[in-house]
Chains A and B, each alone.
Chain A
Amino acid sequence: MTRSRRGSLRRAEARDGLLLISPTFAVVLFVVVLPILWTVLLSFQDLRLIQLRQASIFGDYSLDNFKEVFASDGFWTSLRTTLIYSVLGTAAAVGLGLVASLALRRNFRGRGVVRALMLLPYVAPVVAATFVWSVMLNPQFGIINYWGAKFLGWDEPIAFLSQRSAEVSILGLDVEVPVALLTVIFFEMWRSFPFAFLFITARLQAVPGSMEEAALVDGATPTQRFRHVVLPQLMPTIAVLALLRFIWTFNNFDDIYLLTGGGAGTEVVSVRVFDYLTARGDIGAASAMALVLAGVLMVLVGIYFRFAAREEVA
């Protein structure tokens, strides 16, 4: 094969490659990249939904939207709620996923079915899942409150989704408990643990049996074998899972909007953005807030990678 022929083959390959990828690239460019860049412009403009007709790229640009966002107490509260929700939701989901995959590690009859059933909360439509849980948690006729009154001796029904906080005495200490926030975190755990379960199970199957056998011969007990042999093998998977789940929970809108509508101390930033966009029609402030949300996320992910990189060096 001559050099020029090889070169023309190379060129043909590059041409075909670009041709085949270009439709996808065009969709991503026009429906994702450019709109996000446009959001940056919008966030510096004073734009209401009702005056959308007059909107143009050549408007008056100012920092007013960002000033408004940062000056409002509601924003800082919702950012704090978002952080608590995503940290606890991620930890609970990954933790339960780990427990589930360990419990289902050894084979038994019907394990395949049980594993498939574990994935139900994750594949079911979010609207159906939130609806059935809001009925189950209903103070008047929900099954949870019925069982709570019958078996746990609850004096009065708990409004899980509309009660901001409750006093609970633990060991004689009265503690303020954020009821609705804990409920949506529980829901996040219920809905997302299958994702962690799926990936940890896959990783667990690849852990070589010989290492555990060696530990067994050395007299390590089951918990020791888990702690010193299995867990270190799972750690990289768990770290990636925790990162992904954190990103998705941080951005989550559907679950909280559908469960509480953002009320009772559960307003996360994405729900607030939605309200600014639709109820207030304040496009500028909504854009600014969404950008701040994405910015905070990027900083947090950046910190994570800093730590992850250092961990690898050490």
Chain B
Amino acid sequence: MSTAQQASKSRGSTQRSRMSRDSVETRVLGVLRWVVIAGLLVLTVFPFLYMVLLSVKDLGAVIQDPGNLLPDADSLDLSTYSEVLKSTADGGQGFLGFMRNSAVLAVSTVLVTLLFAIPGSYAVSRLRFPGSRQVSVLFLAVYLFPSILLAVPLFVFFTKVGLRGSLAALVIVYVSQTVAVSIYMLRNYFETIPVSLEESAALDGAGRLGTMRHISLPLAMPAIMANALFVFMIAWNEFLFALLFLVEERSRWTVSLGLSQLAGSIEIPTTVLMAGSVILTVPIVALFFASERLLTEGLTSGAEKG
């Protein structure tokens, strides 16, 4: 056997051993991957499935047999939903009213935030003005500050001036929490719009506001819509400030606050509250899937036009 042959043979054997480690790893990871995916799906989806399943069951049946989650066709109990939605005067829990409060709060927060954030983000991304860097840093810092630190003085202040409990006060607080991240999101988008488009509009004699309204805003519409949905979700889900501001008056409760306040009560069956938590979750999940599509559409439409 020549040395060359020997060398090639030994190379072959090391390659084989490495190949075997390679193929073992590939096979193990290939199986593990599906195990992980299945496990993650159960972990993320099951709690929501459990929520829906329990909301159409009778509490007595759940206590008797906690493992039987599937609804029986003959005992499908939708009364939980009517009970949780009806006003307290009609013997329900008044979640319809809570939903109205949440919607008013969230929509107002979205409108005011956009009213502030659109001009603000345009200024930060397009215009040179003194202090623009410092302002950006300040807005970022706001986003990272503990909300409990802010909760103390705002609680004290609005109690002192007697406005705690008003939805308008809460809208202002929410706007202060969302406007910074809104500006950040929109600024990134404005920066992708070519300046040349705006410059040509300016050459055609359009003023700054005209350019903003007719060129930049329509182009940024997908981003603005996605941002609006994002702010809506934050305001709808918010808990701490709603708890601090609105807890004393039941008629002003949001869905989140209502569910959290009633969760401790012994008189209200858990299954009825499960229906309440489905009502709280569904709008957000629906919006989330809608906004996901909107975002991808906004991106792909830009790509098509090249």
Contact = CB atoms under 8 A, between A and B. Distances in A.
Contacts of A141: 62-63, 66
A39 B120 contact: no
B66 A132 contact: no
Interface of A (DSSP majority class): helix
B244 A278 contact: yes
Interface string A99-143: 110011010000000101111110111111101111110001111
A39 B153 contact: yes
B203 interface: no
Given A32-B145, A42-B153, A120 B44 contact: yes
Interface residues of A, number: 85
Contact of B25 (A39, A117, A223, A290): A223
B119 A258 contact: no
Contacts of A27: 116, 172, 175-176, 179
A121 B44 contact: yes
Interface string A133-177: 111100011110111001000000000000000000000000000
A136 B72 CA distance: 20
Q: Which size class do B's interface residues fall under?
A: 35 or more
B146 A251 contact: yes
Interface in B108-136: 115-117, 119-120, 122-124, 127-132, 135
A21 interface: yes
Interface stretch (A71-79, A230-238, A291-299): A291-299
B46 to A, nearest CB: 9
10 contacts: A14-B128, A17-B128, A21-B119, A21-B135, A25-B135, A27-B175, A126-B239, A127-B255, A141-B66, A190-B43
Interface of A: 10, 13-21, 23-25, 27-28, 31-33, 35-36, 38-39, 42, 49, 52-53, 55, 99-100, 103-104, 106, 114, 116-121, 123-129, 131-136, 140-143, 145-147, 150, 190, 194, 219, 221-223, 247, 250-251, 253-254, 258, 270, 273-274, 277-278, 283, 286-287, 290-291, 293-294, 297
